[in-house]
């Protein structure tokens, strides 16, 4: 059984704000964090950037960069911090490396029509289910509603809830425990992977509420 106090976690893509926010916080918590990218040089550049953030926070530099395939092979948990349009082709490519491992989907398929954002329903029901249909992995759906820009700043506090779903109960439990280790996040089991569209679709809703009410960095709490 994996020890949720020290895990090898890969941020695939790892370039967006969610990737930064998770990488830095998991590294500070003592996990082994790997940033993956399509090209090794880009991954190493990213790792250096993240290590500079760690140093600026008075922490030891300890994040390494690897090509996505090597990052996925080495990690116990791989988080798909990749724009959803590119996530599925990346998944095809990483299928062998991710076999039977825990894969986290924060993917939210959405589109803008007129002046509103809409959740894009996929034939599989959700992005997480599509990922699961491609991979032979233990897919857990999480982190969709975290306001990523604020999450990538490290001098601000927040209190956000994270709805987590998945069909592999042990994998889901590990992701919930990891999430609860992060100050200000509180994770809840929301059921099987098939409920993922109900979580993913909160993200375009939050964006619409922010745009129309001139608000920023809205997350969600269940109270």
Residues that bind a second copy (CB under 8 A): 114-119, 121, 158-160, 163, 188-192, 194-195, 197-199, 201-202, 204-206, 208-209, 212-213, 215, 218-223
Determine the angle formed by the axes of helices 17-28 and 40-56, rounding to 10 degrees.
Answer: 60
Q: Based on CB atoms, which residue is closest to a second copy, 93 or 118?
A: 118
What token pair was written down for 114? 């007129």
Q: What is the CA radius of gyration of the chain?
A: 16
Report how far residue 106's alpha carbon sits from residue 145's, in angstroms, rounded to the nearest whole number: 8
Q: Based on CB atoms, which residue is closest to a second copy, 37 or 197?
A: 197
Q: How far is the CB of 180 from a second copy (least distance, A)?
A: 12
Report how far residue 39's alpha carbon sits from residue 201's, in angstroms, rounded to the nearest whole number: 31
Report how far residue 44's alpha carbon sits from residue 164's, in angstroms, rounded to the nearest whole number: 30
Is residue 18 within 8 A of residue 35, CB to CB? The reply is no
Q: How far is the CB of 24 from a second copy (least distance, A)?
A: 22
Q: Based on CB atoms, which residue is closest to a second copy, 2 or 110?
A: 110
Q: How far is the CB of 44 from a second copy (least distance, A)?
A: 37
Q: How far is the CB of 202 from a second copy (least distance, A)?
A: 7
Q: Based on CB atoms, which residue is closest to a second copy, 93 or 158?
A: 158
């Amino acid at each position: 059984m994996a020890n949720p106090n020290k895990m090898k976690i890969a941020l695939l893509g790892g370039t967006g704000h969610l990737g930064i926010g998770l990488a830095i916080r998991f590294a500070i918590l003592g996990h082994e964090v790997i940033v993956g990218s399509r090209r090794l040089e880009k991954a190493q550049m990213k790792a250096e950037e993240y290590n500079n953030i760690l140093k600026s926070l008075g922490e030891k530099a300890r994040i390494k960069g690897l090509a996505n395939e090597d990052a996925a092979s080495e990690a116990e948990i791989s988080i798909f911090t990749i724009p959803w349009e590119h996530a599925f082709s990346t998944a095809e490519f990483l299928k062998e490396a991710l076999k039977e491992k825990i894969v986290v989907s924060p993917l939210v398929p959405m589109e803008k029509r007129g002046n509103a954002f809409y959740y894009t329903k996929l034939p599989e029901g959700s992005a997480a289910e599509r990922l699961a249909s491609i991979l032979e992995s233990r897919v857990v759906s999480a982190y969709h509603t975290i306001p990523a820009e604020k999450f990538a700043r490290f001098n601000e506090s927040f209190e956000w809830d994270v709805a987590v779903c998945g069909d592999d109960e042990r994998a889901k439990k590990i992701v919930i425990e990891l999430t609860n280790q992060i100050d200000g996040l509180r994770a809840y089991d929301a059921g099987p992977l098939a409920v993922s569209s109900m979580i993913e679709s909160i993200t375009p809703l939050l964006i619409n509420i922010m745009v129309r009410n001139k608000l920023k960095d809205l997350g969600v709490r269940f109270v």
